[in-house]
Chains A and B, each alone.
Chain A
Amino acid sequence: GQQLNQSPQSMFIQEGEDVSMNCTSSSIFNTWLWYKQDPGEGPVLLIALYKAGELTSNGRLTAQFGITRKDSFLNISASIPSDVGIYFCAGGETSGSRLTFGEGTQLTVNP
């Protein structure tokens, strides 16, 4: 099946720093989504991307759908302690199809 490579696996940063993470695939996806999972909770959608080249922001978060449709990145600006958690990318082959998830990026923010 489809596989997504998400990097980095973990990040340790200081409060106020910017963060960048990305996902790549050997196959094309037509939908890219980014989720965050707080400790002890289920993942929650942060940003959804539906068009190649699309750049979308949600507060301090910005995500882009790569032109090749094989990658996506997520940036977090001016990190704060509550940004701690696991961030997952997910790709969908067609609108409404089942998602393939990346391995996750564990983010730790030191105050």
Chain B
Amino acid sequence: NAGVTQTPKFQVLKTGQSMTLQCAQDMNHNSMYWYRQDPGMGLRLIYYSASEGTTDKGEVPNGYNVSRLNKREFSLRLESAAPSQTSVYFCASPRQGNTGELFFGEGSRLTVL
């Protein structure tokens, strides 16, 4: 049951370090999203890509950059990690046909010390 695959599942960083979260989907979907999940705050959209070659800011883009490498892959980069970026990050891709249904990866748990 592939669908949306994220790596790594866990990561600990020190303040100021950089890292990239990888996401790949095998459903041939056009759109891909990055969310962060924090207790009591639901899922907040960081960046999204409506199609290969395009990216747009979501609700909470500050401190992040993204790259839509090809149709399958959408990466999220933290250039200089901060403790406020400690969170669980989810990559998601919506079902084609505008149903609104999102398929999520298993999440990447990031801790910034």
A and B bind? yes
Which residues of A line the B interface, CB within 8 A?
1, 4, 6, 9, 31, 33, 35, 40-45, 48, 50, 88, 90, 92, 95-99, 101-104
Contacts A48-B99, A50-B99, A96-B99 known; 10 new A-B pairs at CB < 8 A: A6-B42, A9-B40, A35-B102, A42-B92, A48-B101, A95-B98, A95-B99, A95-B100, A96-B94, A98-B48
Give the docked Cα–Cα distance between A69 and B42 (Å): 21
List of A residues within 8 angstroms of B58 by Cβ? 98
Q: What would 30 A/B residue contacts be, using CB atoms closer than 8 Å?
A: A1-B59, A6-B42, A33-B100, A35-B102, A40-B106, A40-B107, A41-B106, A41-B107, A42-B4, A42-B105, A42-B107, A45-B101, A45-B102, A48-B100, A50-B99, A88-B42, A90-B102, A95-B98, A96-B94, A96-B98, A96-B99, A96-B100, A97-B100, A98-B33, A98-B45, A99-B102, A101-B42, A101-B43, A103-B42, A104-B40
Q: Known contacts A42-B104, A45-B102: does B94 contact A102 (CB below 8 Å)?
A: no
